[in-house]
Amino acid sequence: MSTTKSKTNLHIVAYPFPSAGHIIPLLDLTHLLLTRGLNVTVLVTPSNVHLLEPYLSTHPSSLKHLVLPALVPDITPTPPHKRLLAIMRALRDLHYPFLLQWFQSHPSPPVAIISDFFLGWTHHLACELKVPRLCFSPSGAFGMSVAFSMCRDPPKNNDPGEDINFQISLPMVPNSPTYPWWQIPPYYRNDLEADPDWEFHRNSMLANFESWGIVFNSFASLESVYFDHLKREVGHNRVWAVGPVLPLEGDVIGSATRGGASSVPCHKLMMWLDARLDNSVVYVCFGSRAVLTSKQLNVLATALECSGVHFILCARVPDDQGSILDGFRDRMGDRGLVIKGWAPQVTILRHRAVGSFLTHCGWNSVLEGLISGVVMLTWPMGAEQFTNALLLVDQLSVAIRTGEGTENIPDSNELARLLVVSLDKIKPQNVRAKELSDAALSAVKGGSSDKDLDELIKQLADIKKLE
């Protein structure tokens, strides 16, 4: 992306949702804004301050941070989706009055707020402060279109306990996607309508579409039909696609240590990859949050073992299943590497030896796979990942479907076959992977994403002039 720095005197606040998969892309966008001369204050909770380190050292004068009060540790409702809703509400209750006081007492307050889509309540804060609020979506435009549709008209199933394959259709979304009931995130279902946390989440998500603008970590040619759709839905053109915002090769922000430390040092990973042939390694990762069940883990390990492919496996497993992973690692020897915890995913995917990527289809992983030009194998686990898999397989033809959550666990022999097939360099998906990689790079090197980011800054500057 363009790195021409011209001082704008614009001061904005960036407020990520306090989870690594949400914080890092908004920090990457912040980095791009800083290179264009803006001043940014990042709002961060105490446990995530370390994620700022590479950005603070790169922008020592224009990047500030404000440490927000930490949530009390007793927000532990089950099931997991209830925990997410409770955290979202608790953040509002704790941070709204704190931020209101901070803004009102600041000698040179920010002229805009850009905040994660899980923080839709900041739209109301921005209205009280009389500043524009930008919703930042770490998910794609297709996923956001689906979320908007489900928030506006919550999916209904008269027998959700029995008919988990009941088909939900979204005819107002382009391409009319359909989903079996079990793929609908619980926080969008009509059976929770009496729950105050559910209602808070719904109103918070709808507030995203009432905000002054929406910024996507995506690029125009990847999801053009959905960007057009969202502009019609919100009734204006302040919908910007500025991604992929992840650092380009050689950028210090893209160092292997960003986001956390790996159980396998990066230099050892690179040495192992350097000894492999081009496009000969399958990288397997299900993100930083998904925990594989024992059945999923056994199928995956068996498939990798039977396939004969070289691989890097990064997966979270229940504490009582660690011995399965340890025994598997011992049997595989030098044919594969097993990483526990965080993996330097961007660095791994960019290596010439990696030819395919078995992924849970989180949006960060989708973009990292696309820009690296590798073929993807999809095994979504939850949330908008099923939508992202639809995009990759059925609409972009850049990926191969393997599994779906715990309901459609692939046969280990079939999965082993697909792992081998994914490294075949003459597949149609290889051609599409190269095309989309080129399109992503073009977008951020003077193309549509660069232009959208410049236009976003121009419109913010115009607002500042009117003050």
Tokens of 409: 């666990």
Extended beta strands in 309-384, E state: 310-314, 336-339, 354-359, 375-378
Q: What are the φ/ψ torsions at residue 252 (nearest 5 degrees)?
A: -60, -30
Residues 35 and 31: their CA atoms lie apart, in Å, by 6
Name the active-site residue from 28, 116, 197, 452: 116
CA 9 from chain center: how many Å?
30
For residues 202-225, one letter each, b for 16 or more C-beta atoms within 10 angstroms of the residue's C-beta and e for the rest, the string is bebbebbbebbbbbbbbbbbbbee
Residues 357 and 369: their CA atoms lie apart, in Å, by 7
Strand, helix or coil for residue 430: helix
Report yes or no: 434 and 373 within 8 Å, Cβ to Cβ. Answer: yes
Axis-axis angle for helices 322-332, 294-307 (nearest 10): 0
Residues 465 and 6: their CA atoms lie apart, in Å, by 16
CA 276 from chain center: how many Å?
29
Does the annotation mark 59 as catalytic? no
Name the active-site residue from 22, 59, 123, 351: 22
Pairing of strands 112-116, 11-15: parallel
Strand, helix or coil for residue 152: helix
Question: Which among 274, 411, 422, 442 is positioned nearest to 351, based on CA atoms?
Answer: 274
Does the annotation mark 28 as catalytic? no
Position of tokens 């204050």? 41
DSSP 456: H
Q: Which helix (H) or strand (E) holds 326?
A: helix 322-332
Residues 115 and 18: their CA atoms lie apart, in Å, by 11
Report yes or no: 374 and 356 within 8 Å, Cβ to Cβ. Answer: yes
Catalytic residues: 22, 116
